[in-house]
């Protein structure tokens, strides 16, 4: 009887530890997901900025060509 109670207590403790581990894993996943999302946003913003710069350069080149052709 005493042994059964000890086993039950150990199983409860093991389940508690497992739940805490799952919570930590979930929290770590959420943090990593948020970090990845922010990094992707940063990369997208940088890409958008470089595309605008490229468009502006092309526009300026065409403007210069038109001036030369006139």
Mean local confidence (pLDDT), 13-34: 95
pLDDT at residue 2 in the model: 81
What is the pLDDT, as a whole number, of residue 27? 95
- Residue 36 has a pLDDT of 97
Domain of residue 63: give its range: 1-70
Model-wide pTM > 0.85? no
The mean of the pLDDT values for the chain is: 94
pLDDT of residue 33: 97
Number of domains composing the chain: 1
Q: How far is CA 61 from CA 13, 32, 39, 47, 56, in A?
A: 72, 43, 33, 21, 9
At residue 28, the pLDDT reads 96
């Amino acid at each position: 009887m005493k042994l059964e109670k000890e086993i039950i207590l150990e199983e409860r403790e093991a389940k508690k530890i497992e739940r805490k581990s799952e919570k930590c894993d979930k929290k770590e996943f959420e943090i990593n997901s948020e970090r990845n999302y922010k990094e992707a946003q940063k990369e997208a913003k940088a890409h958008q900025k470089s595309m605008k710069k490229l468009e502006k350069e092309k526009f300026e080149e065409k403007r210069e060509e038109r001036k030369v052709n006139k």
